[in-house]
Structure 1
Amino acid sequence: METKKYYDYCVHKIKGTLDDKTPLAELEKHLNLQGKDGYRLISAIPQVYEGTTESTILIFESEYEDKI
């Protein structure tokens, strides 16, 4: 029997930089919610516009195996 791996991804956008309190609280909320669903944070990408960070994109990944 062969085992095959599958990946699911979930993407969230947080407004503001992660240096501020409000975006950090939102990040913590997303980490807790996604963690409960089996996701892990794989990337946090700042979205820069005209020299300032307007938002951060969070990419979460979940991995599972299925026997074929």
Structure 2
Amino acid sequence: MLELVDRAEVRDAAAAWTGRVNTVTARTDRVDVDALLIRPDGCVAWALPTGQDLVATTLVRALGTWSGQPA
């Protein structure tokens, strides 16, 4: 998970996967996304557009698809 803006609700939604998914917070001039779930092959599995409300079910579905069920 790559966070480009500090959004606690993204970390909270992904908390069950902390044993399988690393979260990195970075800063950039990029302004079109707040967070990305990046698959091991480098493709984006999920994105949160800048300023959009988090729909946690979409993130949880992507995490489950690419990282299995939470431990």
TM-score normalised by length of structure 1: 0.31
Instruction: Report the structure, 1 or 2, having the larger helix content.
Output: 2
Instruction: Report the structure, 1 or 2, having the larger strand content.
Output: 1
| Larger-Rg structure | 1
